[in-house]
């Protein structure tokens, strides 16, 4: 017990091992895996990144005109880089940068919109699939019988 008190007293005069983040920036290692970035212009909208993302931090919202909207949740992401590794256009359409996601003090800021977006994406995909099937059926009906 005395040795523990001696160690504690000696540590009072040593430099702190922790940093005052976010006021003081952390040293980032060379191979640090940070936030995921996406380029709409380079993306081929294949949805591979969404399918391979372990926690489901990437969602594509399907529009009725066939276009898609990329959505990313940095609070859900585990920064494993699977999305970037599996992307057909890595470092063009999808890449990781050296920035980190800042924490949030409110649960609402982190989760509230994401859960509703997940539901919206599921519904939009079903509606788009039904829309495509109805278009195919209407095209078959319009073709004259020979």
Judge whether 22 lies within some domain: no
How many domains is the chain built from?
1
Q: Is the pTM of this model over 0.75?
A: no
pLDDT given at position 15: 83
Does residue 101 lie in a domain region? Answer: yes
Predicted confidence band at 141 (pLDDT cuts at 50, 70, 90)?
A: low
pLDDT in tens, 19-45: 887 788 777 777 788 889 999 999 999
In a domain, 90, yes or no: yes
109 vs 46, residue with greater confidence: 46
Assess if residue 109 is contained within a domain.
yes
Top pLDDT among 60 and 144 is at: 60
pLDDT of residue 84: 94
Give me the chain's average pLDDT, please: 85
What CATH code is carried by the domain that includes residue 118?
A: 3.30.70.20
Distance CA 116, CA 111 (A): 9
Q: How many CB atoms lie within 10 A of CB 56?
A: 13
How far apart, in whole angstroms, are the C-alpha atoms of residue 36 and residue 83?
A: 9
């Amino acid at each position: 017990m005395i040795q523990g008190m001696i160690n504690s007293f000696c540590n009072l005069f040593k430099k702190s091992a922790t940093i005052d983040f976010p006021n003081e920036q952390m040293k980032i290692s060379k191979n640090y895996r940070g936030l995921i970035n996406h380029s709409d212009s380079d993306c081929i909208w294949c949805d591979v990144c969404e399918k391979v993302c372990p926690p489901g931090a990437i969602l594509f919202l399907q529009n009725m005109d066939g276009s898609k909207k990329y959505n990313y949740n940095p609070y859900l992401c585990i920064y494993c880089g699977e999305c970037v590794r599996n992307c057909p256009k890595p470092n063009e359409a999808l890449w990781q940068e050296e920035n980190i996601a800042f924490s949030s003090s409110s649960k609402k800021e982190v989760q509230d919109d994401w859960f509703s977006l997940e539901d919206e994406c599921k519904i939009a995909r079903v509606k788009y699939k039904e829309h495509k099937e109805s278009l195919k059926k209407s095209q078959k009906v319009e073709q004259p019988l020979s």
